[in-house]
Structure 1
Amino acid sequence: MRKFKLLLGIVFIGVILFGYFNYPKLNLISGFASKNMASNVFIAHRDPVDVTLNDHEMTLINLSDCEVSENDKSATATVYGLMPRKAVYKEGIGAVLTNKEFSKHNFDIVPNRSINKDSLHFPYGNNGIIVTLLENVDYDKLEVAFSNAFKDPQEKIRSLLVVHKNQIIGERYIRGYSEDTPILGWSMTKSILATLYGILEYQGKLDINSEPFSEEIGTNSQKSNITLNHLLRMQSGLAWDENYFKISDVTRMLFLASDMTLAQRNNEVIAPPTEVWNYSSGTTNLLSGILREQFKTHQEYLDFPYKSLFDKLGMNSALLETDLAGNYVLSSYGWATTRDWAKFGLLYLNKGDWNGERIFSESWADYVSKPTKDSNGTYGAHFWLNAEGKYPDISHKLYSANGFQGQRVFIIPSKDLVVVRMGLKEQTDEQFNTLLKEIIASIR
């Protein structure tokens, strides 16, 4: 009996300790589930059941239960009835996780858009695509590449699109998706952030070698030496923990913070600029906050990505979500259709020129695709690179916008190619290498 009581006591203590250390994680699970559900239902117009069965079928997130309310355009999630979190959708700025400070914030200000219907085909318009066959493309080989990409349902690809010589030469979607379905790019949104800085630089309104903290804290601190260039290259030396499987800097920012621009801004300096390369979503949202400071009003800040980028490219589906404080969450929450993501890639393939109008300087494409010190050739300025040859059969000049679960916009200048792959499951470097190799093999 004594042994039984002792064992029972140990089990009881174990349960208490397990609950103590893991209960806060429920906030992250229900936070992710409610936010992702609200965004998918009200931005992409997806079926909540489909989102639950597919998007939420991942470790821990599959423990959540979600309810959608059409009345107030919200989604509420719990984990076995515990830790309810609610996300509310607002037209123009997406879905935002609510918290105790929700009632303090004003969501009346939304971006102004200028969406023009025109007679042009993709990519310079939205009046269909050119269907002329290119003589240097082996469409049979291209079909094999597409068939292989979609062969295994477990790989959870959602769409694949290939553009060559500014023309779509291949495009496919799984059931439930089409050329009109916006898809979350996750960290591909970081590359949009870099582009916005490139636009301001081209307009002469910003110097990427400027020091955004110099006036804030004086010249005697290491932080004052951090430049926008250091931030764009993820080498500021500011502390950051990008771990999605525990309570960390990035999970606190995305699922608990009202103002996500402060998450890294308030962190300590652990190394001088350029001495450490550390991938950081906090850095991107810090840059979003600095971007906001370049404008006199909140309205101008909200309008800028649309006025200067999306609407110029005819990316009519593009949408950037904000945090509670009205800052764009440029680390993670950018939406667009597969075709519109392809337009973004084409802007870089054409080095900032869009049908005769220059969006950013030609040198900006070179800047973002130049390897950053200590990244082992994998990172430029908010773009990923192939400089070290992780895709051994593909040009080392390839660079890409990358996002969680295998979202990719590959830019391959040597082949005049943009490849967009959207999915719900991360791929290995070997798998991406095979996909790209097979696509390139179809071009003579």
Structure 2
Amino acid sequence: MKKFLKIFAVLLLIALVYLRIEIYPQLDLISGFSAKSVASGHFIDGRSLETIQQGDNDIDKIDWATNKIDEKQRFVTSSVYGLKTRKAIYREGLGATLINDDYDVSKPYEVPKRNFIKNDLPFPYGNNELKACLPNGMDTIFSNIDYDKLNAAVANAFDNKGEINKRTRSVIVIYKDKIIAEKYADGFNKNSKILGWSMTKSITGTLFGVLQKQGKIDIMKPAPIDEWKNDERAIITINDLLHMNSGLEWEEDYGKISDATKMLFQADDMTKSQIDKPLVGKPNNTWNYSSGTTNLLSGILRKQFKTHQEYLDFWYSALIDKIGMNSMVVETDMAGNFVGSSYSWATTRDWAKFGLLYLHKGNWNGEQIFDESWAKYVAKPTNGSNGKYGAHFWLNANGDFPDVPRDFYRCSGYQGQMVAIFPSQDLVIVRMGLSEEFDFNGFLSGVVGSLKR
């Protein structure tokens, strides 16, 4: 009996040490992710706690968290077995923000001024329904489309009843500015706002194209970072940052405590998370995907304006509301800066509008939002990326998707969010979901294959 107790005591001690060293430090991130996810999903898209916990938060370890929603004061608290309680607050216009114990919730804050343009135009240049031939609203005017093949490809993107493998929430296919297919999973519809995760990076990057078109920035100049002016980082340009090849150190790993997870779930000002990182490569030659870089770019955008209000307004007035993405909400950190790496919500149709802006090389219903050359710029392979990456867009230049045209490029986000742009096909495809194991090559090639050239 004594021998058994000794063995048990040793095993218990080992377990406690493991929990203390490996698990306990992660609890802050687990409860932080959970609180932020529940607050955003509930207050931005109106999802129930049960829906969020069974869908958005059914991730390994995240599902350990217990969540509580305060409807009156509009915040969420989450903890893991009563440990490491985290809080996320919701503010109209700014979305949900994960806060720490030092954050003063009573301090005043500014919100973006929105301009929702109203007109009688149908999608995409307005929000009126299409006058189509079929009762489901799909357009059937194209004789070169095999609709049976198209509809089969779209239907195959979704799970059959009772399955949870593909986990697609929505799909929309736009051909020559017309919706030719659109489908939603149960519980979602054309008005559902869905988190784009890293597709937000493409929004952030595009704002530099807008500023360049306006003659207000030169992306080839050194990044305006005071901390870099007197060391080897002084040669890093905005262009390098847009291409993710600054050479700066950064660990982008969401499966553990890393630079990325510490930034998203612990930092109060995310625009500063990569500023203190040293060079570990050569600028313009060392590609390293980094959410810290994008939030640093958000901070550089802030420096282009005299006031914080102007910075907040610019994202919407110059781009988001300009192209009618009126459902979109870009969320902020504790310092009030947009989390340009990860946190933007919009309907599937509004995500498609962003893709169409690039399909039309920056021209939106006659107005040039950014120069035509910008669309070529973002789709040109970055040095060191092996043809995978451009300027805040992912590419297919190396044939990662072998059955899809090489000129296809995309916004891409965690769990398989995608806005796919096909210049040679006059086509935009959006897929939103909860699984990166999704067969994008098969799905995209199926849709493209339904177009008879």
Using the size of structure 2 for normalisation, the TM-score is: 0.95
Distance 1:104 1:49 in 2: 27
| Structural mapping, 1:198-347, within 5 Å | 198-213=209-224, 216-219=227-230, 221-347=231-357
Distance apart, 1:327 and its partner CA: 0.6
Partner letter of residue 109 of structure 2? D
The 1:246–1:443 alpha-carbon spacing in structure 2 relative to 1, beyond 3 Å, is same
Find the residue that maps to 1:401 and give its secondary structure: strand
2:412/2:418 contact within 8 Å kept: yes
Distance apart, 1:402 and its partner CA: 0.1
1:405/1:426 contact within 8 Å kept: yes
Distance 1:355 1:388 in 2: 33
Distance 1:95 1:36 in 2: 9
Distance apart, 1:215 and its partner CA: 5.2
Distance 1:50 1:93 in 2: 23
For the pair 1:187 / 2:192, whether they are aligned, the reply is no
Distance apart, 1:274 and its partner CA: 2.3
2:410/2:419 contact within 8 Å kept: yes
2:224/2:300 contact within 8 Å kept: no
2:181 aligns to what?
A: 170
Which of 365, 388, 400 is 2:410 aligned to? 400
Q: Which ranges of structure 1 fall in alignment gaps of 5 or more residues?
A: none
Distance apart, 1:237 and its partner CA: 1.0
Find the residue that maps to 1:159 and give its secondary structure: strand
Distance 1:242 1:157 in 2: 25
Find the residue that maps to 2:269 and give its secondary structure: coil
2:154 aligns to what?
A: 146
1:260/1:323 contact within 8 Å kept: yes
1:13 aligns to what?
A: 13
Q: Deviations over 1:41-65 (max 9, x none)?
A: 0001111111111111111111111
Which of 427, 437, 443 is 1:435 aligned to? 443
1:191/1:382 contact within 8 Å kept: yes
RMSD: 1.4
Residue correspondences, number = 441
1:318/1:335 contact within 8 Å kept: yes
The 1:105–1:224 alpha-carbon spacing in structure 2 relative to 1, beyond 3 Å, is farther
1:122 aligns to what?
A: 123
1:101 aligns to what?
A: 102
Distance 1:51 1:236 in 2: 37
Deviates more, 1:95-104 or 1:161-170: 95-104
For the pair 1:426 / 2:433, whether they are aligned, the reply is no
Distance 1:403 1:248 in 2: 18
1:90/1:107 contact within 8 Å kept: no
Distance apart, 1:247 and its partner CA: 1.3
Partner letter of residue 202 of structure 1? K
The 1:37–1:151 alpha-carbon spacing in structure 2 relative to 1, beyond 3 Å, is closer
1:411 aligns to what?
A: 421
Partner letter of residue 58 of structure 2? E
Partner letter of residue 175 of structure 1? D
Distance 2:77 2:294 in 1: 28
Distance apart, 1:8 and its partner CA: 3.3
Partner letter of residue 80 of structure 1? Y
Distance apart, 1:13 and its partner CA: 2.5
The 1:370–1:177 alpha-carbon spacing in structure 2 relative to 1, beyond 3 Å, is same
Which of 135, 142, 151 is 2:143 aligned to? 135
Find the residue that maps to 1:308 and give its secondary structure: helix
Distance 1:20 1:136 in 2: 62
1:42/1:89 contact within 8 Å kept: yes
Distance apart, 1:70 and its partner CA: 0.4
Distance 1:101 1:67 in 2: 21
2:136 aligns to what?
A: none
Distance apart, 1:151 and its partner CA: 3.9
1:122/1:130 contact within 8 Å kept: no
User: Which structure is higher in helix share?
Assistant: 1
Distance 1:323 1:42 in 2: 17
Q: Which ranges of structure 2 fall in alignment gaps of 5 or more residues?
A: 133-138
1:51 aligns to what?
A: 52
Moved over 6 A (4+): none
| Structural mapping, 1:361-376, within 5 Å | 361-376=371-386
Distance apart, 1:128 and its partner CA: 1.4
